[in-house]
């Protein structure tokens, strides 16, 4: 399956599955398509409670997307200290934060014009 054949919805579904598998918290999807000059179509943002959980979330996302869609990220950044890890799937960029770093950078505030979808979790 090529990148063109994988739709944003399919990719986001698998990313969410990967996050939920290891109980990532405060999951939001920011739809950036109606904002000019954006680098991608969507941000998926979540946080973990420690660098161990952040790394577990990142690993779970990669495994789930790879297994279900045979796709891998174009680029990953921040794995070394696991406070803010960015996973770039080109049209969808995932931000996995530790909570205090997420609050400090306030990505949702910076992209306040984006349509935000809050994902409810049952854990």
| Domain limits for position 34 | 8-119
At 62-78, the pLDDT tens digits run: 999 999 999 999 999 99
pTM for the structure as a whole: 0.94
- Summarised one tens digit per residue, pLDDT across range 51-65 is 999 999 999 999 999
What CATH number should be reported for the domain holding residue 17?
A: 3.30.460.10
Q: Other C-beta atoms within 10 Å of 36: how many?
A: 6
Let me know if residue 23 belongs to a domain: yes
Q: Is residue 84 part of a domain?
A: yes
Kindly give the pairing relationship between strand 75-77 and strand 84-88.
antiparallel
In the chain, pLDDT over 70 holds for what percent of residues? Answer: 96
| Residue 1 banded pLDDT, cuts 50, 70, 90 | very low
Q: Is residue 3 part of a domain?
A: no
The predicted model gives 89-96 an average pLDDT of: 97
Total domain count, the chain: 1
């Amino acid at each position: 399956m090529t990148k063109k054949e994988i739709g944003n919805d399919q990719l986001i579904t698998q990313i969410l599955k990967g996050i939920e598998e290891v109980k990532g918290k405060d999951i939001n999807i920011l739809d950036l398509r109606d904002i000019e000059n954006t680098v991608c179509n969507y941000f998926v943002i979540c946080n973990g409670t420690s660098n161990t959980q952040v790394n577990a979330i990142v690993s779970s996302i990669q495994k789930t997307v790879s297994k279900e869609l045979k796709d891998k990220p174009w680029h990953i950044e921040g794995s070394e200290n696991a406070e803010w890890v960015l996973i770039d799937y080109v049209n969808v960029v995932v931000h996995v934060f530790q909570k205090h770093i997420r609050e400090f950078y306030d990505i949702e505030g910076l992209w306040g014009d984006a349509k935000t979808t809050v994902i409810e979790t049952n854990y």
